[in-house]
Every structure is written in C-alpha cells, then in structure tokens.
Amino acid sequence: MSGQSQRLNVVPTVTMLGIMKARLVGATRGHALLKKKSDALTVQFRQILKKIVSTKESMGEIMKTSSFSLTEAKYVAGENIKHVVLESVQTASLKVRSRQENVAGVKLPKFEYFTEGETKNDLTGLARGGQQVQQCRAAYVKAIEVLVELASLQTSFLTLDEAIKTTNRRVNALENVVKPRLENTISYIKGELDELEREDFFRLKKIQGYKKREIEKQLAAAKEFVEDKFAEKISLQKGISINAAHNLLSAAREKDEDIIF
C-alpha cells in the first residue's frame, strides 16, 4: 500500500482535523519516549552481556578449583566423607532469594544469596582431612555465589531481550504506520476543507451576482413605474396620449444628457 493511500476513513471536518492533530502529537511524544526507553534498555542489555561474559570466564576457573578441592577432600578424608557431611547438615545455611529491579519500566528479576544460621559441620573430618573439607566447602560456596550471579544475569538478559524486541516493534509501528497514516489523514482533511472553502467562495460570488441583478431589475422596474406615473400625469395635464407623454420625457432626458456643465 502506498503512503498516500494509508489514511484513516474519517469525515473531513474541522473538529476531526483537531482530533487528528492531537493524535499526531500524542503519537510523536509516544514515539520519542519509546525511543528513549529502547536506548536505555539497549545500554543496560550491553552492560549485562559484558558481565555475563566475564562471569562465565571466571566460572570455569572457579568450578575447576572446587572440583579439585572435592577430589583432595575425598583422597584425604576417604570416600565416605560425603555421607558424613550429609548426616551432619540438617538445613541449608546458604539460601537464595529473588527481588525485582526496575529499568526503564521493565522489571528485571535479581537473585541474591544469603547465609542463614550457623554452620554445624565444624567437627566434620576431625579424624583426618578436616582442613581439606573446609577448603572444599569454601570453594563450593564461592562457586554457588558465581552461579547465583550468573543465573541472575542470564534471566535479566532474556527479559531485556524480549522487552527490547517489543519496544522496537512499537517504535517501528509508530514511525512507519501510525504517524504516516495520521499525517496523510491530516493532509486529506486539509485538502477537502480547502476545496469546500473554494466552493463556498464561488457559491457566495454567484449569490452576490444574483442579488445584484435582482436589485438592478427592481430599480429598473421602479424607475419605469415612476416614469409611467409621471407620463400619465403629463398626459392628463396637457390632454395628450400616454405615448406622446413618454416621447416628451425621452426628448427631455436626451436634452439633459447633452448639457455640458
């Protein structure tokens, strides 16, 4: 569909023209706000992407260290250290909670870890391998911290990606569909109003010309009536016919017109 044919089907009136102008102003403001929102989300999106890349790079080293620490603990404390640890732990001391962060009207989920209660496995590995067990625990706590941070970043990344796509679709719709359609509608209404104004002007001129001709006819009729009355009066005074009186009046009028002042 061409740009000129993209317009709304409306009645071309002055009221509708004002409505279309108000809608165009609203669409322009909405387009500007959505464009700013898209830019802000894009900046935040790139920052999160950089953090994800750096977190994933550090996560490989951290997971390698924690796995190596677990191997050391099993070697020193024995293979049954896993069952000993599970028996000594009743509740989790490291937990995760979620919250929301507002970025340009988009709510991003954030995950953060926190410690609840005290660690009750201080005596684990007391016979042998206690130091390696504590080192393994510290390494896995750090790994959990990195995993929680990475989960938060990736969830925010996906949420922002969807929000940016939606915002860009709205921006493109306003820029390429709504605004051109309103502008074409306003141009159409203005053209129709101008045409109506020209028609009204031509109609007024015709009416004025008709009134002028009618007035001239009325004046001519009144003048003829006065002349008839005057000719009738002259014919009665001088005892001549009405036609002769008309001839006398015509001769007198021609004589007056030849007088040079």
111 membership: H or E segment, kind and range: strand 106-115
Contacts of 88 (CB under 8 A, 6+ apart): 120, 121, 123, 124
**CA separation for the pair 139, 78 (Å, rounded):** 19
pLDDT average per 10 residues of sequence, the chain (261 residues): 65 88 92 91 90 87 82 70 64 78 83 71 52 78 87 90 92 91 92 87 86 86 75 67 66 54 38
Q: Which of 152, 168, 162, 163 is nearest to 48 (CA)?
A: 152
* Whole-structure pTM value: 0.61
Angle at 141 between CA 137 and CA 144, to 5 degrees: 140
| Alpha helices, H only, 13-93 | 14-77, 81-88
Q: What is the pLDDT of residue 242?
A: 63
Q: What is the pLDDT of residue 258?
A: 47
Domains defined along the chain, listed by start: 14-192 (1.10.287.3240)
**CA separation for the pair 150, 112 (Å, rounded):** 10
Query: What is the DSSP annotation of 150-203?
Result: HHHHHHHHHHHHHHHHHHHHHHHHIIIIIHHHHHHHHHHHHHHHHHHHHHHHHH
Q: What is the pLDDT of residue 260?
A: 43
